[in-house]
Amino acid sequence: MAEFWMTVAGTICWPLCFWWMGRISAEQNRLMDQLREQGRRIERLSKAEHDLIKEVHPDVGEIKQGMAEVIAAVKENTASQPPPAKEK
């Protein structure tokens, strides 16, 4: 008789398990859809931010050229000044 009830319990559990797994799967799909949409929004914002930075920030070549000019000016200024006298 115990085998009968175990069979009945098993038969009832299978549909319950399939229903439960279907719910979990639907929830996972919903979450994945939200994550995809969030990724798309982040991509759009990153592109917009990149475009803004590109507009207001000078090119790297300009920065290097400016730094080279500053270094040359400092070297020229340092070379034209006599070394400071040491106090004893």
The reported pLDDT for the residue numbered 35 is 97
Distance CA 73, CA 79 (A): 10
Distance CA 38, CA 48 (A): 15
The reported pLDDT for the residue numbered 61 is 64
**80, part of any domain:** no
For residue 6, the enclosing domain spans 2-74
The reported pLDDT for the residue numbered 51 is 86
Q: Which two tokens stand for residue 39?
A: 């990724």
The whole-model pTM stands at 0.49
The reported pLDDT for the residue numbered 9 is 87
Q: How many residues does the chain have?
A: 88
Q: Count of domains in the chain?
A: 1
Q: What is the mean pLDDT of each run of 10 residues along the chain (88 residues)?
A: 87 91 97 97 94 74 76 81 66
DSSP string, 52-74: HHHHHSPPHHHHHHHHHHHHHHH
Q: Answer positive or negative: Cα dihedral of 22, 24, 27, 29.
A: negative
**81, part of any domain:** no
